[in-house]
Amino acid sequence: MSEGKRNGQDPGANWDLTRLLAETSYQVLATDGAIRSVVFPGEPYHGRPTDVFAYVGIPPRATGPVPGMICVHGGLGAAFRSWVELWVRRGYAAIAVDLNACGADRVPLAQGGPALNDGVIFDPTAAWTNRWAYHAVAAVIRSHTILRCMPGVDPNRIGITGVSWGGYLTCIVAGLDPRLACAIPVYGCGFLQSNSAADWMKRFAAMTPAQRQDWHEHCDPSRYLSSAGLPILFVSGVDDFAFPLDSVQRTYALPQSSVAFCIRVGMAHSQEAGIAPDEIHLFADQQLRGGEPLPTFGPSRFHDRQLQAGFTSRRPLKTVSLLCTSDRGRWQDRKWRTLPALVKNGEIGAEVPPGVTACFLGLEDDRGAYASSPHLALA
pLDDT level of residue 4 (50, 70, 90 thresholds): very low
9-31 confidence digits (pLDDT tens): 688 899 999 999 998 899 999 99
Is there a contact between 230 and 202 (Cβ–Cβ < 8 Å)?
A: no
295-342 confidence digits (pLDDT tens): 999 999 999 999 999 999 999 999 999 999 999 999 999 999 999 999
User: How buried is 262 (Cβ within 10 angstroms: 0-12 exposed, 13-18 middle, 19+ buried)?
Assistant: buried
pLDDT level of residue 8 (50, 70, 90 thresholds): very low
**What is the pLDDT averaged over residues 98-118?**
94
**Alpha-carbon span 358 to 346, nearest angstrom:** 24
Give the pLDDT confidence score for residue 251 in this predicted structure: 97
**Alpha-carbon span 125 to 374, nearest angstrom:** 37
Give the pLDDT confidence score for residue 9 in this predicted structure: 63
Give the pLDDT confidence score for residue 210 in this predicted structure: 97
**Alpha-carbon span 3 to 227, nearest angstrom:** 9
**Alpha-carbon span 317 to 196, nearest angstrom:** 34
Give the pLDDT confidence score for residue 202 in this predicted structure: 97
Q: CA neighbours within 13 Å on the CB side: how many for 172? A: 30
Look up the pTM and report it: 0.95
Angle between helices 132-148 and 165-176 (to 10 degrees): 70
260-275 confidence digits (pLDDT tens): 999 999 999 999 999 9
- Range 312-344 burial, b when 16+ CB lie within 10 A, else e: ebeeeeeebbbbbbbbeeebbebebeeeebeee
62 has a pLDDT exceeding 90: no
**Alpha-carbon span 341 to 364, nearest angstrom:** 12
